[in-house]
Structure 1
């Protein structure tokens, strides 16, 4: 009996030991995960720690809740969750502080990309957004036949040195910021079940940050300070746009648009306050380019920018008032300084210089010998040149303001009429003060010729605002660049080159739409187009790298010229004398 009791005792002991070992082994995964949790917490891998915490809470602790030590572990879960939550908030605050510091750089990078796409010149962050862009300056001039042409000046873009800046420029504005913290915070708060709390906190913080960003500095003494101010705003919304695309619930479009509306009102108010009374024409042009670049950059991120164009259109009226005041002062100066004697051309060069500047029927003077006397004084030529220069100045501000062609034309004509009206008042005041009969007679003659020149000025306005001639020239250059000649061609194709055929089709289609334009303008554009095409063909065959031309290539070139001559013989625009257009290609023969 004693032996049986010992056997039962040992069996019970073995059973208890086995049960204890089983219970301990079942707790090992929990203990291992708990150790892993503390390791992840020490490594600041809070999202991974939270996932381990969730596994402990929902899997392991539920199976082992009968042990006192597991209850102690369970009680420690709440503080750990709270610690993770606080650490997530801390990381988010660090992220906000970081994007606040780099917002200007992000905005500068984004605006620079848009500046390149839209051919803005210079570095906007350096305050060099003036009228010298990498686009060629356009200067209006008169050709030898008295017609209007545009001369392209040199580009102002500076070559870049191969510095370390290239690495940064290869990045997009979005690449300048690591958005991992914001995504990690979203994941953590989602797992914690506090996603709405974090969303509200995010929107509140971003709203406060936006209010700080859109508040202009107290001292903005240079254009660069305005550029920096706008770049900060761009950077803020570039970040907001990225977050709204990647975390749609966090930064909803409604929240983003609300912030943009507030920023837009503040920017417009700031610009109106600081530049509403700007007396400098060049400064107005520069700030126009700054605002325009800001608008185009924000448009690229799908923000509404129409109020910015309204702001620029208001600045347009202010700009033209300043410009008009300058030209009125110049006109009054010309009235006083003119000698009121007939203009004299001592030789052909002087004669041609005068008729280039002022539209005059020169046939009545061509048969006379030198010196040739013009009926008007130097005042007429100078004033007519000033009027054209003023019109070009008007156009400089209206570029890219999203105005229709008719709006531009009407606006320029309205400003021209106001200028002429003010000049008329200046003439009346000047005449009232004059006592010299000779001066008054010459002034009357001058006014007569200026009145006749108003028709030419109207044609000039049309050519200036339509931009038809420049567009056609650009298209001709584009097509000719695509079709390069093989100067070693063994034999011609027997017909005009494909690119010439395409070019003729384009010109035929274009000139067919000129019926709605004044005939004088249509003839002018057509003549200048043919001259440009002829000059381009001449430059092609005479370019320095053409060392030799085979008979086949020469014959092919001749066929192309013949095709152009045939096109001119078809009278693409009415009003030309016979062979007048074809004569533009004579020198190619």
Structure 2
């Protein structure tokens, strides 16, 4: 066994033993010996070492013996030394044996410890693996709990990101554990929880938006009011800017410096974060289409909640209508803002559909409640609220055409109510008028009347500062009152266009038609109906009023042309009322003619001529005195307030009628022959009439008026010639054309046959034959009682006016 061991490792052990022996010190000896002992795992490995040492010892003995043989003494000493060495070797061997046993014991213990170490290392690795797995699982659980914590804190997007990180990163690291499957199965449920939570927050946001919509609309309306005010100021400063309407390009550019965010200001702040978060989360979950559909359905339901079942338009401040329109405005503004702040979320068609639906519902509510409104001022307030709504929503690029149609309906109702109110006012003014010239007490009152009415004082009226008060105006008080109402009616109608009304041509046409209807039916017709009166003074006052109304209508036509919008058709405006008042003036003139002529006929019927009388009267007949007194009275009292043109025409017609009526008397076919005394009485009466006209203190007018009696004067002149026996001169063309141009040849011949020839009529009883004709510059207007006669009268006035 030793030999085998030595045979197996002779060199290594021998070299090691030699090195041990050659060690310089014991410490070195031990240092070299210990590695060999450590490498000896069992007793079998220690024995070769001992054999190696024995072999070395034997070698040494051999060497010693050889040395001893060479040198005995030295050998003896060497033996002794060797003996000492041997003793030391034996001692060392004992120590080595003890050390070997010690090493062996240590080796066994070391082996046990190594085995325990190996076992502990395996346990520790298992513990480390279990710890890491536990850490991984705990991290997953932490993230899972964090998702729910974030969800509880309403950090929905952070929760979704954490869930996504958990699912796509951390769960893949623990796929070998069952907890991964459990958490993986819970991910869809957690996603649903997140979606439901974010939808709950969105619904809360939508509810707040619905509650805020009215206030948002109110703020938007206020902003539009401010823009109106600023545009009005700019219009006052710059005429060009004044032509720009609200929401036009010019107005928007001019108002750029006044930036205002309706959705984010001191009054209201609309935060779209919940919507963005919900949209982003549903996009991450791949449920964008579903969310878009759900959101659209929710907004449709909210739209329905905005609209009440009925609307009250009778409250003083129109709060119900304002609330309705403010709510719609706020709702629509949020929709537009949502479109602007998101991409491909709200379709334009959906938003337009909601807008159209709300507009139609609002129009239906307003239209159904419109019949309860019977006050034009209230309707104007309603229009103002709707116009404000239209201008506000027009600035957000919504279509307002249907609302413009509603304004047309409101205007029809407004104009009807306004026309009814002013119709009642006109009726009351006309029915309560005293039909007397209007007295004016002071300059202020006079100035007010001049300002409100279309009245131009005559040229002979002194200026205001030189006028004496009280004074009397020709028209009655109904004229300025009606003028005030006309101006008020114009202002009230055009008030409808102040804010927003595109159909200005409708207003212009409605205004014209309404004024025509009011003036014709309520003023002109009422005055025409009163012409049945038997009082000439009242008829004269009606004629005066009608004449001024005719002039006012002409002025009003020009005013309507100036006031109408540029969009209306060009050209003059003609009121039917102008012609109606002209016709009424003609009817009034005719009525005055009838009354005056009736009185004249009554007086002439009292004439009692005895055509066969032989007595020459020395004074004018009583009926002629009454007739001239009547003419003087109507000239100085009844006709005093009429314009000169109308007064002259009436007077001219009256004189012409007197002439015609008087000529009938001597030419009565049933009457007897006329004595020269009777002819003298007739000529005396006609001369008195002519003298009365010639003595009128009216400038050139008597010379014009006397022409109405030319035929009568020439006829009485012919009677005088006939009584003198010179009647054949009538048949002399040269004399007749100069002296009797207006006497009918047949009637003249009949008169010559009836007048008895005698010694002639005294010169004192002869009537004047050729009055002096002066100038008259008066202006003449009006209708004719007889067209030919009045036409001659006007031609005559025109000729005199040219000469003047």
Q: TM-score, normalised by structure 1?
A: 0.65
How far 1:330 moved relative to its partner? 1.7
In structure 2, relative to structure 1, the CA distance for the partners of 1:278 and 1:14 (3 Å cut) is closer
Contact 1:332 1:426 in 2 (8 A): no
Residue in structure 2 matched with residue 64 of structure 1 by the alignment? 174
Contact 1:240 1:256 in 2 (8 A): yes
In structure 2, relative to structure 1, the CA distance for the partners of 1:517 and 1:245 (3 Å cut) is same
Which 10-residue stretch deviates more, 102-111 or 426-435? Answer: 426-435
How far 1:423 moved relative to its partner? 2.8
Residue in structure 1 matched with residue 397 of structure 2 by the alignment? 302
Contact 2:404 2:502 in 1 (8 A): no
In structure 2, relative to structure 1, the CA distance for the partners of 1:333 and 1:171 (3 Å cut) is same
Supply the distance in 1 between the matched residues of 2:484 and 2:297 (Cα, whole angstroms).
59
CA RMSD of aligned residues (A): 3.7
SS at match of 2:229: coil
Q: TM-score, normalised by structure 2?
A: 0.48
In structure 2, relative to structure 1, the CA distance for the partners of 1:342 and 1:196 (3 Å cut) is same
Among 136, 157, 181, the residue aligned to 2:274 = 181
How far 1:261 moved relative to its partner? 0.6
In structure 2, relative to structure 1, the CA distance for the partners of 1:20 and 1:349 (3 Å cut) is closer
Contact 1:376 1:442 in 2 (8 A): yes
Residue in structure 1 matched with residue 355 of structure 2 by the alignment? 260
Contact 1:110 1:172 in 2 (8 A): no
Mapping for residues 308-327 of structure 1, pairs under 5 Å: 308-327=403-422
Mapping for residues 152-301 of structure 1, pairs under 5 Å: 172=265, 175-217=268-310, 221-222=314-315, 223-301=318-396
How far 1:111 moved relative to its partner? 1.2
Deviations along 1:331-357, one digit per CA (max 9) or x if unpaired, are: 222222222223345666655444333
Contact 1:88 1:185 in 2 (8 A): yes
Q: How many residues align?
A: 430
Q: Does 1:457 align with 2:556?
A: yes
How far 1:9 moved relative to its partner? 5.5
Residue in structure 2 matched with residue 419 of structure 1 by the alignment? 518
SS at match of 1:245: helix
Supply the distance in 1 between the matched residues of 2:122 and 2:300 (Cα, whole angstroms).
70
Mapping for residues 479-518 of structure 1, pairs under 5 Å: none
Contact 1:409 1:465 in 2 (8 A): yes
SS at match of 2:496: helix
Deviations along 1:244-276, one digit per CA (max 9) or x if unpaired, are: 222333322211111111000011111111124
How far 1:459 moved relative to its partner? 2.1
SS at match of 2:344: coil
Contact 1:202 1:250 in 2 (8 A): no
Supply the distance in 2 between the matched residues of 1:200 and 1:170 (Cα, whole angstroms).
25
How far 1:446 moved relative to its partner? 1.4
How far 1:319 moved relative to its partner? 1.1
Contact 1:174 1:238 in 2 (8 A): no
Residue in structure 2 matched with residue 390 of structure 1 by the alignment? 489
Q: Does 1:99 align with 2:209?
A: yes
How far 1:292 moved relative to its partner? 0.7
How far 1:388 moved relative to its partner? 1.9
Residue in structure 2 matched with residue 377 of structure 1 by the alignment? 476
In structure 2, relative to structure 1, the CA distance for the partners of 1:359 and 1:43 (3 Å cut) is closer
In structure 2, relative to structure 1, the CA distance for the partners of 1:174 and 1:215 (3 Å cut) is same
Supply the distance in 2 between the matched residues of 1:66 and 1:170 (Cα, whole angstroms).
54
How far 1:203 moved relative to its partner? 0.8
How far 1:286 moved relative to its partner? 0.5
Contact 1:174 1:239 in 2 (8 A): no
Greater relative CO (CA pairs within 8 A, separation 6+): 1
Among 444, 450, 462, the residue aligned to 2:543 = 444
Contact 1:111 1:297 in 2 (8 A): yes
Supply the distance in 2 between the matched residues of 1:80 and 1:288 (Cα, whole angstroms).
54
Deviations along 1:357-400, one digit per CA (max 9) or x if unpaired, are: 33334243325985655433222222222222211111111323
Residue in structure 2 matched with residue 579 of structure 1 by the alignment? none
In structure 2, relative to structure 1, the CA distance for the partners of 1:49 and 1:254 (3 Å cut) is same
In structure 2, relative to structure 1, the CA distance for the partners of 1:174 and 1:350 (3 Å cut) is closer
Extract unaligned runs of 5+ from structure 2: 1-40, 42-107, 236-260, 573-804
Supply the distance in 1 between the matched residues of 2:193 and 2:263 (Cα, whole angstroms).
40
Contact 1:109 1:172 in 2 (8 A): no
In structure 2, relative to structure 1, the CA distance for the partners of 1:347 and 1:172 (3 Å cut) is closer
Deviations along 1:84-116, one digit per CA (max 9) or x if unpaired, are: 122122212222222222222222122111122
How far 1:194 moved relative to its partner? 1.5
Deviations along 1:14-40, one digit per CA (max 9) or x if unpaired, are: 655565555556556534433432432
In structure 2, relative to structure 1, the CA distance for the partners of 1:173 and 1:281 (3 Å cut) is farther
Residue in structure 1 matched with residue 435 of structure 2 by the alignment? 340
Supply the distance in 1 between the matched residues of 2:529 and 2:230 (Cα, whole angstroms).
44
Contact 2:143 2:162 in 1 (8 A): yes
Contact 2:433 2:478 in 1 (8 A): yes
In structure 2, relative to structure 1, the CA distance for the partners of 1:249 and 1:378 (3 Å cut) is same
Deviations along 1:48-75, one digit per CA (max 9) or x if unpaired, are: 1111101111122123211112222222
Contact 1:92 1:185 in 2 (8 A): yes
Contact 2:303 2:354 in 1 (8 A): yes
Among 191, 210, 227, the residue aligned to 1:117 = 227
Residue in structure 2 matched with residue 523 of structure 1 by the alignment? none
Contact 1:365 1:372 in 2 (8 A): no
Which 10-residue stretch deviates more, 216-225 or 448-457? Answer: 216-225
How far 1:231 moved relative to its partner? 1.5
How far 1:12 moved relative to its partner? 5.2
Supply the distance in 2 between the matched residues of 1:412 and 1:120 (Cα, whole angstroms).
30
Residue in structure 1 matched with residue 454 of structure 2 by the alignment? 359
How far 1:215 moved relative to its partner? 2.9
Supply the distance in 2 between the matched residues of 1:357 and 1:425 (Cα, whole angstroms).
19
In structure 2, relative to structure 1, the CA distance for the partners of 1:243 and 1:461 (3 Å cut) is same
When Rg is computed on C-alpha atoms for both structures, the one with the higher figure is 2
Contact 2:311 2:365 in 1 (8 A): no
In structure 2, relative to structure 1, the CA distance for the partners of 1:411 and 1:248 (3 Å cut) is farther
In structure 2, relative to structure 1, the CA distance for the partners of 1:404 and 1:288 (3 Å cut) is closer
